Structure 1
Amino acid sequence: MSEASQAPASSSTPPWEAKRLPNRRGLARKLLAWGIVAGLAGAVFYALQPRPVEVEVGVVQNGPLTVYVSEEGKTRVRNRYVVAAPVAGSMQRVVLKPGDKVESGKTVLTRIEPAISPLLDTRARMQAQANVDAATAARSRANENIEMARTGLKYAQANWDRIKNNTDKGTVSDTDRDTFEREAEMKAREVRSAEFALQVADYELAQAKAALLQIEKPAEGGASIDVRAPVNGVVLRVQQESATIVAPGAPILEIGDPTDLEIEAEILSRDAVAIQLGAEVTVEQWGGDEPAKARVRRVEPAAFTKVSALGVEEQRVLVLSDFVAQTSALKSLGDRYRVEVRVAVWHSDKTLLVPSGALFREGSEWKTFLFDNGNAKVVTVKAGRTDGKLTQVLEGLKAGDEVLMHPPDTVKDGSDVVKRDEVK
């Protein structure tokens, strides 16, 4: 009876009202979608976070520093002699060319012949006699100059021998030894220059006497005058090559020794005041593989005005330098060759240095970014002298500090930075 009553009840329940089983596949799809959305959101959040800036780091350290003044210069023959016509007349053509060697008193440079009769009048005779007297006085002066130069050389050489033989350590500084040695060398060169001047005076006296002889005794003196080389050397430039009528004193050609070169550089007057005699000079861009060494011999006391390429008037001073050693490579240099000189105006054997690329200007102060455990920290620096690559630090940094080299505009005070060599 009870079984019969239960059967109709179960058969009366609609099939669509029956309890549904949970859909496990739909739940997994929802979880996967939410996971993708969360991953994308995390990636966007990570991408929007500020990242450390890659920077190059330099180190502040102690070291030597030399400050140079750079300028264009040119070589020139130290002793240049301009041969001029001793008398008026008809000059023959000069057959010598630049670079030809000449010998003192033997090589005939040109020949001057009488052009007009006034060479034989009384006035010409008196002028020729006056030229002889002037040449005699010039020779006497040159003779006195060479004696003075020899006396100075003797004194300088004695001082150098005394200092050179003094071997006690600490008695004489290296600077004083170099000064006495350079003084003896300069005096020797002055004697050589005075000897050349005496040869020129002898030549001028002989030429004046020959001109007087030509006027007083034309039959004995001949009808022409040979102009001979006054010194040994090389023809540098022929100023009058073609045959022409010349006046007394008209320049004919230049003679000099191309192996005896010096360097002249036109330095701005504000830089020249810091240049000392004997300062080190580096000669670059002269055509050789290695820079040549030279030393300052003279800083001329008078400046001159020169207009720059930009049209600005500048006051410049001639600075003369001598090569320290005449190497085989320097023999290819000639007169008035272009070079670049770097003159040392300040030197320190040990000072605190920072790379110049780490400094930047902010108003009237120099500043730099200090690398501080991954952060950029702005530091005010009191800078001293610089050679373009390194700068002297007077205040604000200490040895061992790391500074940012050429920091980009994105770096600010407190920015996160990372060394470029540490980025993987």
Structure 2
Amino acid sequence: MTQPLPAAPWLRYLIAAAVLAALLALALWPARHLVDHATVRQGTVRESFEAEGRARMQQRFVLSAPVAGVVERLEWEPGEHVQAGQVLVRLRPLASPALDARSRAQAQAQAAAAQASYAAAQAEAAAAAQTAQLAASAADRAQALAAQGMVSAAALQQAQTQRETSAQRAQSAQWSQGSARYQRDAARAALLAHDPARPGAAALLLRAPIDGVLLRRHLQSERAVPLGEPILELGNPQALEVEADVLSADAVRLRPGMAVELLRWGGPATLKAEVRRIEPAAFTQVSALGVQEQRVRVWLALRDEPAAWAGLGEAYRVQARFVLRSVPEALYLPSAAVFRHRSANGAGGAGGTRTEPGWAVYRIDGQRARLQAVQLGLQGEGRVQILAGLQAGDQVVLHPPRQLSDGAWLRLR
């Protein structure tokens, strides 16, 4: 029987050497870093900041007692709509002593001044309504001419803005007229309450000075009230504005007319607004972390139609995003891709352009990471504008780990 020949010693040595070489190559093979990546894109980059705000009704009116008396039980509930001239409160005046000659002259002068104020408000309301009508006609003509290419887009936008502004002024003038009418009636009632020739005067009927919604009821049951006691508060839900408390360091960068977006107000869409007024005085506010902050009250005007923010009411919370600057059609990256790096100081970007010291990214070249200095522009909302160093379509590493280096092998998620 034939015995197998023993393996040559050199063959065993060769196999052992091959295994050792494979193990050594495996140990020395460069590790691949598992990383996230993003693509350089073209779009809008904006610089903005956010602040918390509250919706306010521009036109509010407090219905108060013109004379001391007893208010009958109120049947109105907050949220109910009222019309101008509608009876809201019945007030039975208390017995009042007769006025002396001096006090009666003062009451008559106040009644005459209230009548003059009402006449002036009535004239202003008529003028504002006429101006609004003319602005609406001009906007309609501009729109027709723009459709024929005879008016520029800027002129059309100006005409439309003028129409909206005039309509708001006319509405505000109507409210002022209603308020002046109520002040006139209150002055007359106060004068009649002290007239000795009218004993046992009938109850005074306090009517709604304007069309609106009942916001607040200061009392409900029948009780006596002194002169000037607030009874009801009315407001116009179609004329809302937003009050935002902004850090003073941010407020110095704001200007009237700047664009604002209203977020997280409860509706499905983002509302458009603009800065209307910036108060000149700041106030101190303690933050949730216990830090004292100087804040400035900024008033915003809504630019969407009332149907867009239906349901938004008095003192409702909103989040206001102030847009400071905007660059359309810019190359941008997520801000998580850029970092400071010593080797980026003084490095050249694409085409030999000098870049901003210190900023760099890891550009993905095949399966390797290439350290690339970049020059940054506008930054905001999680995006950074790329001025030099990259091109549209380049891929870069997001959140680069500290152990990543130039030329390292990558494995993309």
TM range (shorter): 0.7 to 0.9
Distance 2:98 2:310 in 1: 46
Q: Counterpart of 1:84?
A: 64
| Equivalent residue number for residue 144 of structure 2 | 165
Is the deviation greater in 404-413 or in 155-164? 155-164
Structure having the larger proportion of residues in helix? 1
Does structure 1 residue 419 correspond to structure 2 residue 382?
no
1:11-30 alignment runs, 5 A limit: 27=7
When residues 124 and 85 of structure 1 are mapped into structure 2, their CA distance, relative to the original with a 3 A threshold, is farther
Shift in Å, 1:60: 1.9
Indicate which of 297, 312, 321 corresponds to 1:342.
321
User: C-alpha displacement at 1:275, in angstroms?
Assistant: 4.6
1:168-317 equivalences in 2 (<5 Å): 172-216=151-195, 218-219=197-198, 222-275=201-254, 277-288=256-267, 290-296=268-274, 298-307=276-285, 308-310=287-289, 311-317=291-297
Which residue of the partner structure matches residue 403 of structure 1?
A: 396
Give the alignment's TM-score, normalised by structure 1.
0.80
Counterpart in 1 of 2:353? none
Aligned CA distance change for structure 1 residues 268 and 182 (closer, same or farther; 3 Å): farther
Verify: 1:354 aligned to 2:354, yes or no: no
After superposition, the C-alpha distances for 1:361-402 in whole angstroms (9 at most, x for unaligned) are: 348732211223433232332222233232112233333332
Equivalent in the alignment of 2:23: 43
Q: Residue 37 of structure 2 contacts residue 412 of structure 2 at CA under 8 Å; is this kept in 1? A: yes
Can you list the C-alpha shifts for 1:290-331, whole angstroms capped at 9, x where unaligned?
A: 22332316133424224133322223231312141233x743
Residue range with higher mean Cα deviation, 134-143 or 75-84: 134-143
Q: How far apart are the structure 2 equivalents of 1:388 and 1:362?
A: 23
Across the two proteins, how many residue pairs are aligned to each other? Answer: 396
- Which stretch of the first structure deviates more once superposed, 80-89 or 295-304? 295-304
Answering whether residue 124 of structure 2 is matched by residue 145 of structure 1, we say yes
Q: Which amino acid aligns with 2:50?
A: S
CA distance in 1, matches of 2:200, 2:173: 31
* Counterpart residue type for residue 36 of structure 2: E
Task: Summarize deviations over 1:68-110 as a string: whole Å, max 9, x none.
Answer: 3322222222311111221233444434221233332232324
The change in CA–CA distance for 1:225 and 1:419 in structure 2 (over 3 A counts) is: same
Which of 372, 380, 387 is equivalent to 1:394?
387
Deviation string 1:222-263 (CA, Å, 9 cap, x unpaired) is 154232222222210112445554343332221123344333
Alignment-mate amino acid for residue 367 of structure 1: A
| Distance 1:109-1:382 versus aligned 2 partners, 3 A rule | farther
Query: Structure 2: which amino acid aligns with 1:251?
Result: P
Kept after mapping to 2: 8 A contact 1:276/1:296: no
| Contact 1:96-1:109 within 8 A present in 2 as well | no
> RMSD of the TM alignment (CA)?
3.2
Question: Which deviates the most, 258-267 or 191-200?
Answer: 258-267
Any gaps of 5 or more consecutive residues in structure 2?
A: 343-356
Counterpart of 1:374 in structure 2 is 367
Q: Deviations over 1:191-223 (max 9, x none)?
A: 111012112211221222122223225537815
Name the SS of the counterpart of 1:392 in structure 2. Answer: strand
Relative to structure 1, the CA distance from residue 272 to residue 252 in structure 2 (aligned partners, 3 Å threshold; closer, same or farther) is: same
Q: Which consecutive residues of structure 1, in runs of 5 or more, have no partner in the other structure?
A: 1-22
- Indicate the residue corresponding to 2:83 in structure 1: 103
How far apart, in 2, do the equivalents of 1:44 and 1:63 lie? 49
